[in-house]
């Protein structure tokens, strides 16, 4: 009688050990892979007391990107990897440090806390530069300029921003649109979700009447579902900046330099065409941002 | 400290509307949970085998699906199926039916605590089975399980927070708190008040159950 539960315990312990070792060996494989394809490019070594030096010491740079926003940051189900415009920029910056980029999911609601608590070193997550956010973190120079737009099912009665009044509008919690829509169309019935992919689910199942956010994010949704259409309203200008820990001027300089180089050496154009340009009309296409950080900050002033 | 009060003062409308949504959600779900839970418990102890099985299937289904998955199926799944279910209906049904499975199990254990002799006696006196249940067994079962029900209701109040964080996106207390947090970045202060809001509900529930216990519990 007594030996039975003991056997069970031993079996459980063995099973746990086997599982744990499997999990560990899986991690081990990852590490090997990442050291194998180290870039051959010569990189500048930074002093250990700078953020760049600390990242180089660690050998990896944690970058917060979106996982559900094609074409900027999304988990490609075919390759199983995160891809997109933001991801490519992150890879470029990590390469300049000679480290491996590690992409972590950072959505509109949690990205700033993740940066502040040091879980990630930098945010590249379709983040509009605003003065309010600038109080918590620092921004790089703009690396992309998106425009505010509205997505509706084809044939919808909603054709202008005012038409959102009385209608259910989906946007992400913590995004600039939460405020913009509240100000521009106070009677809109805002539905705030964590992820833009949830907005897509909601508009596909008729649980909301419209989705409002950056046109590039909405374009990604139209690519996935062609029964939806963009209104082309362009009612806001949303310059994206990389998020950098507050007061880290050396790191900001490094990121600004990297972005400038990214634009100057033509990589920006190349990736724009790859992720955005090919999906939109030629007259809608744009070049690298001409707006400066200072001008960008004035677009979304902090009011209290 | 002054910041703590400042956040509450400035965002009181958001917090109170969130608390009100959470309260209505919990109240409606509790009603469903108690009615359905009692019915299922009665099925599980009924003399008919097929009723036992049906009750068992219910309990195992709803108890073994994570609440978040249940919510997604109830809302997005049903809407995809063509029935345009309202977010409120989806949320109340999910939370209610989920909790009902636990309440049914608690009640079943309460029924077993009532001596079998009492059921035999009632039946031999000519009472029908449903009448025996309603008049003899369930009143005693409810009394025995009041402490267990109290825990389940508190768990349900806290589980309700999943609704606001899910696709359903009802503006409940947690959702409102997160919205204020996104506006102000005052994470600690905002969630302190959200916690106070949930405490208000759970403490009220605890006091109500303590009263029920004192009034109806079997004196020992």
Instruction: Report the CATH number at residue B61.
Output: 1.10.3720.10
Q: Residue A25 has what pLDDT?
A: 55
What confidence category does residue A159 fall into, taking pLDDT thresholds of 50, 70 and 90?
very high
pLDDT at A29 over 90: no
Of chain B, the end-to-end C-alpha distance in Å amounts to 48
Which residues in chain A have their CB less than 8 angstroms from residue B172's CB?
A: none
Check A192 against B87: CB less than 8 A apart.
Answer: no
Whole-prediction pTM: 0.74
Q: Express each pLDDT in B54-101 by its tens digit.
A: 999 999 999 999 999 999 999 989 988 888 889 999 999 999 999 999
pLDDT band at A24 (very low <50, low <70, confident <90, very high): low
- Percentage of the residues of chain B whose pLDDT score is greater than 90: 60
pLDDT attached to residue A273: 92
The answer to which of A17-31, A53-67, B27-41, B169-183 has the lowest mean pLDDT is: A17-31
Going edge to edge, which strands form the sheet with A243-245? Answer: A100-105, A60-65, A122-123, A243-245, A137-139
Residue A78 pLDDT class (50, 70, 90 cuts):
confident
Give the ipTM of the model, two decimals please: 0.73
Residue scoring higher pLDDT (A5 or A86): A86
Q: For B24, list phi and psi in degrees, rounded to 5.
A: -65, -40
Question: What residues of chain B have any CB closer than 8 angstroms to a CB in chain A?
Answer: 75-76, 79-80, 84, 87, 165, 167, 169, 171, 175, 178-179, 182-183, 185, 187
pLDDT tens digit sequence for B6-29: 888 889 999 999 999 999 999 999
Are B189 and B4 in contact, with CB atoms under 8 Å apart?
A: yes
CB atoms near residue A128 (< 10 Å): 27
Domain containing residue B117: 2-216
Binning pLDDT at 50, 70 and 90, where does residue A2 land?
Answer: very low
Task: Give me the pLDDT at residue B7, please.
Answer: 87
More confident residue, B187 or A56: A56
Q: What is the mean pLDDT of residues A101-120?
A: 92
Contact check, Cβ <8 Å, B169/A192: yes
Number of domains chain B contains: 1
Of A178, A191, A205, the CB nearest to B76: A205
Gap between the terminal Cα atoms of chain A: 72
What tens digit of pLDDT does each residue of B172-206 get? 999 899 888 877 778 889 999 999 999 999 999 99
> Tokens 């009902």 map to which residue?
B100
- Specify the range with the lowest mean pLDDT, choosing from A207-211, B120-124, B136-140: B136-140
Q: Which of B79, B167, B179 sits opposite A198 (nearest CB)?
A: B167
Q: What is the pLDDT of residue A256?
A: 96
CB B72 within 8 A of CB B85: no
d(CA A123, CA A130): 14
Burial tier of B66 (Cβ tally within 10 Å: 0-12, 13-18, 19+): exposed
């Amino acid at each position: 009688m007594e030996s039975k539960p003991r056997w069970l315990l031993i079996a459980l312990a063995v099973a746990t050990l086997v599982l744990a070792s499997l999990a560990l060996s899986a991690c081990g494989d990852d590490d090997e892979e990442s050291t194998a394809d180290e870039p051959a490019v010569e990189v500048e070594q930074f002093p250990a007391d700078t953020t760049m030096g600390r990242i180089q010491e660690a050998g990896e740079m944690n970058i917060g990107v979106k996982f559900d926003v094609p074409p900027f940051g999304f988990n490609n189900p075919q390759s199983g990897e995160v891809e997109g415009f933001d991801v490519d920029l992150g890879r470029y910056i990590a390469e300049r440090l000679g480290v491996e980029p590690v992409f972590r999911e950072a959505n509109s609601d949690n990205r700033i806390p993740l940066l502040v608590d040091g879980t990630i070193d930098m945010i590249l997550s379709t983040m509009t530069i605003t003065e309010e956010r600038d109080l918590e973190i620092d921004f790089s120079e703009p690396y992309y300029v998106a425009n505010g737009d509205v997505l509706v099912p084809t044939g919808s009665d909603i054709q202008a921003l005012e038409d959102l009044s009385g209608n259910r509008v989906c946007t992400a919690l913590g995004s600039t649109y939460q405020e913009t829509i509240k100000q521009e169309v106070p009677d809109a019935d805002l539905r705030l979700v964590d992820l833009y992919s949830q907005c897509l689910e909601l508009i596909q199942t008729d649980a909301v009447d419209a989705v409002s956010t950056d046109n590039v994010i909405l374009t990604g949704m139209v690519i996935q579902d062609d029964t939806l259409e963009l209104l082309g309203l362009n009612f806001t200008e949303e310059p994206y900046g990389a998020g950098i820990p507050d007061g880290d001027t050396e790191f900001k300089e490094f990121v600004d330099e990297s972005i400038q180089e990214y634009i100057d050496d033509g990589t920006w154009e190349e990736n724009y065409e790859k992720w955005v340009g090919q999906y939109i009309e030629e007259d809608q296409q744009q070049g690298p941002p001409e707006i400066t950080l200072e001008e960008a900050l004035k677009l979304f002033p902090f009011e209290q | 400290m002054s910041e703590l009060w400042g956040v509450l003062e400035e965002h009181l409308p958001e917090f109170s509307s969130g608390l009100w949504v959470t309260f209505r959600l919990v109240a409606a779900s509790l009603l469903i949970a108690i009615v359905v839970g009692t019915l299922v418990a009665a099925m599980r102890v009924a003399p008919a085998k097929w009723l036992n099985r049906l009750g068992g299937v219910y309990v195992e289904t709803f108890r073994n699906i994570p609440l978040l998955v249940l919510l997604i199926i109830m809302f997005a799944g049903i809407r995809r199926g063509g029935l345009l279910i309202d977010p409120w209906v989806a949320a109340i049904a999910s939370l209610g039916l989920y909790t009902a499975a636990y309440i049914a199990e608690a009640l079943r254990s309460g029924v077993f605590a009532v001596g079998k002799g009492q059921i035999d006696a009632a039946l031999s006196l000519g009472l029908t089975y449903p009448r025996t249940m309603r008049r003899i067994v369930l009143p005693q079962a409810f009394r025995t399980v009041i402490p267990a029900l109290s825990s389940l209701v508190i768990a349900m109040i806290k589980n309700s927070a999943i609704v606001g964080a899910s696709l359903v996106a009802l503006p409940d207390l947690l959702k409102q708190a997160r919205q204020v947090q996104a506006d102000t970045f005052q994470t600690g202060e905002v969630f302190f008040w959200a916690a106070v809001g949930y405490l208000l509900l759970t403490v009220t529930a605890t006091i109500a159950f303590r009263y029920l216990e004192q009034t109806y519990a079997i004196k020992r």
